[in-house]
Amino acid sequence: MDIARSLAELEKLGADLYGKDFLLTWEKSDAELKEVFLIAELLKEMHAKNVPLDMFKTGLAVSNFRDNSTRTRFSFASACNLLGLAVQDLDEGKSQIAHGETVRETANMISFLTEAIGIRDDMFIGKGHTYMQEVAAALDDGFKNGVLNQRPAVVNLQCDLDHPTQSMSDMLFIKNHFGGFENLKGKKIAMTWAYSPSYGKPLSVPQGVICLMTRYGMNVELAHPEGYDLLPETIEVAKKNAAASGGSFKVSNSMASAFKDADIVYPKSWAPYKVMERRTALLEKNDHPGLKELEKECLAQNAKHTDWECNAAMMKPTKGGEGLYLHCLPADITDVSCKQGEVAADVFEKYRIGTYKEAGYKPFVIAAMITACTKKNPAKVLEAMYKAGQKRVL
């Protein structure tokens, strides 16, 4: 990467994410997405060249994970540390939230010296994105009324609608694999459901993928068994994006159809949105017997589709028999992590290092989102750090 050229491109871009949050990719303009991509790649390259990137000399980054996580949790911590921020986990069970403290109050109390808040809230339809908006509104109120000296940026680390840090990491990986964004036009990506012996996986990864990849002129085919639909509003976003970019968007009920001539495949299990709606309603009622019955029903439904596995036979009709395999990880690997799963062990092993590299973009994407949303002129900030001639490790 030519750092000087990329810094000049960033300076001329004219995007303005300063003072904003990063919640949904489809809320962002093409220039704003490009700004994050450029910053992420600059941060990655400068880190590789041993340049210190601690642009914050003090400050907190609050990590609020309302669901389990490995990659995204550590990517957020790594990103914040890279930028010079100390990370503090918000454990709701150990806070006054457990005693009824409001979201408005909590958001302000954790933000006096905070520069960024990362939130994962992905399990309940209609809840996660709404919660992030509520936190953002509380921060606006606190900053406006002089409670906070600075307004922290809120970063979506996965909600019920989108997983922007994942889809943008995926995009940077395939962009570099194929040699540039300009080379993605006309490339076919198969975003498909795959069998899993577990229940209740969020919809936000496939929704994020179809809504982002359609913006770059790609031919996106979403495939799943009947009844495993995504949220209708995200389907509409994908259709609109495809029409605007000159790409295409198709929905089918055939994994084989999606994989045929695909340049990229992304086989990933998820729960039908109608099931997730039922699950949310049962949780709100604290109906544990109902939840157990729903889980039993859904596992039985999944078991009807064990043939939805990414294996060597399924990969053969991809472009040249060598389609690129993507996964957000952890994958359900047949005879490794489970008896039967999303992907055959030999296929996963073939692409394993690639999936690790795919995941490796995430800390830099998160750091880029924070940088873009908290610095008025990210290009100048990065240029000054690059020209300082200092070393991260002496």
Percent of the chain with pLDDT over 70: 99
Counting every residue written for the chain, the total comes to 394
Q: Determine the angle formed by the axes of helices 30-48 and 3-13, rounding to 10 degrees.
A: 150
pLDDT digits (tens, 9 = 90+) for 70-114: 999 999 999 999 999 999 999 887 777 766 789 999 999 999 999
Q: What is the C-alpha separation between 153 and 59, in angstroms, rounded?
A: 12
Q: Which pLDDT score is estimated for 95? A: 75
Q: Which pLDDT score is estimated for 14? A: 87
Evaluate if residue 381 carries a pLDDT over 90.
yes
Please state, as a whole number, how many other Cβ atoms lie within 10 Å of the Cβ of residue 73. 18
Upper half-sphere CA count for residue 218 (Cβ side, 13 Å): 29
Percent of the chain with pLDDT over 90: 90
Going by C-beta distance under 8 Å and a sequence separation of 6 or more, which residues neighbour residue 86? Answer: 59, 60, 61, 80
pLDDT digits (tens, 9 = 90+) for 272-282: 989 889 988 99
Q: Which pLDDT score is estimated for 101? A: 87
Evaluate if residue 31 carries a pLDDT over 80.
yes
Q: What is the C-alpha separation between 54 and 385, in angstroms, rounded?
A: 9
Q: Are 332 and 269 in contact (CB under 8 A)?
A: yes
Name which of 20, 281, 260 is nearest 143 in CA terms.
20
Place of tokens 């296929």: 347
Asked if CATH classification 3.40.50.1370 holds for the domain at 166-343, the reply, yes or no, is: yes
pLDDT digits (tens, 9 = 90+) for 306-336: 999 999 999 999 999 999 999 999 999 999 9
Q: Which pLDDT score is estimated for 98? A: 66
Look over the chain and give the mean of its residue pLDDT values, rounded to a whole number: 96
Amino acid at 321: G
Q: Which pLDDT score is estimated for 91? A: 83
Helix (H), strand (E) at residue 192? strand 188-192
Specify burial of residue 59 (Cβ count, 10 A radius: 0-12, 13-18, 19+): middle
DSSP secondary structure string, 94-135?
GSGGGGT--HHHHHHHT-TTEEEEEEEE-SSTTTHHHHHHHH
Under DSSP, is residue 87 helix (H, G, I), strand (E, B) or coil? Answer: strand
DSSP secondary structure string, 325-356?
E---S---BBTTTBSS-SB-HHHHHHHHHHHH
Going by C-beta distance under 8 Å and a sequence separation of 6 or more, which residues neighbour residue 166? Answer: 72, 158, 205, 208, 328, 362
Asked if CATH classification 3.40.50.1370 holds for the domain at 3-160+363-387, the reply, yes or no, is: yes
Q: Which pLDDT score is estimated for 123? A: 85
Largest CA distance in the chain: 62
Name which of 165, 343, 346 is nearest 268 in CA terms.
343
CATH 3.40.50.1370 segments of the chain: 3-160+363-387, 166-343
Name which of 392, 391, 379 is nearest 4 in CA terms.
379
φ and ψ of 154, to 5 deg: -100, 125
pLDDT digits (tens, 9 = 90+) for 112-165: 999 999 999 998 899 999 999 999 999 999 999 999 999 999 999 999 999 999
Q: Which pLDDT score is estimated for 97? A: 76
Q: In what order do the strands lie in the sheet with 219-223?
A: 248-252, 219-223, 188-192, 264-267, 324-325
Note the pTM of the prediction, 2 decimals: 0.96
